């Protein structure tokens, strides 16, 4: 029986996603997100930032690579995965990352505004032409 291994996290991409293809032809997309936590301490609010590596596979990887951009908000549903290896000094090393099974990106309002501006500019050119 498998143990429960599930995570839901929201954050912001800290850099553009990196997309690659495995030797068997499967698409993999890796990116890093920052997730903020605010809490009350003494008489003020404190901010704690945590960074997480995320990997996606197949069609989800293609989608994340196409629409994910630095600064864009994202909600990830997935599982935790631990990679283990021996360092150059022979000591064991490990890293925990998130394997996403679902990703939702927040609307990119800047892109929508640029599209609206382009549309208005095209309409103005068309009106001026006729």
pLDDT tens figures, 80-116: 999 999 999 999 999 999 999 999 999 877 665 555 5
The least confident of 24-28, 35-39, 109-113 is: 109-113
- The per-residue pLDDT for 26 is 96
Structure tokens, 84 = 């283990």
- The per-residue pLDDT for 111 is 62
Arithmetic mean of pLDDT, 22-47: 94
Cα first-last separation, the chain:
71
H or E segment to which residue 49 belongs: strand 44-57
Percent of the chain surpassing pLDDT 90? 78
How far apart CA 94 and CA 85 sit, in angstroms, is 6
How confident is residue 130, by pLDDT bands cut at 50, 70 and 90? very low
Arithmetic mean of pLDDT, 117-123: 48
Nearest-5° Cα angle at 49, 43 to 54? 160
Spatial CA neighbour of 11 closest among 48, 66, 61: 48
- The per-residue pLDDT for 12 is 96
In a 3-state reduction of DSSP, which class is residue 58?
helix
With beta carbons less than 8 A apart as the criterion, state whether 12 and 71 touch.
Answer: yes
Domains of the chain, first to last: 7-129 (2.40.50.140)
pTM over 0.75: yes
How far apart CA 91 and CA 37 sit, in angstroms, is 33
């Amino acid at each position: 029986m498998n143990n429960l291994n599930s995570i839901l996290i929201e954050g912001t991409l800290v850099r553009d996603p990196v997309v690659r293809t495995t030797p068997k032809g499967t698409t993999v997309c890796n990116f890093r997100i920052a997730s903020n936590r605010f809490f009350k301490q003494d008489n003020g609010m404190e901010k704690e930032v945590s960074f997480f590596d995320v990997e996606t596979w197949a069609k989800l990887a293609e989608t994340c690579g196409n629409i994910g951009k630095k600064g864009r908000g994202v909600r990830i549903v997935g599982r935790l995965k631990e990679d283990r290896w021996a360092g150059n000094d022979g000591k064991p090393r490990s890293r925990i990352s998130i394997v996403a099974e679902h990703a939702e990106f927040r609307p990119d309002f800047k892109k929508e505004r640029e599209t609206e501006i382009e549309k208005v500019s095209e309409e103005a050119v068309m009106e001026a032409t006729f």
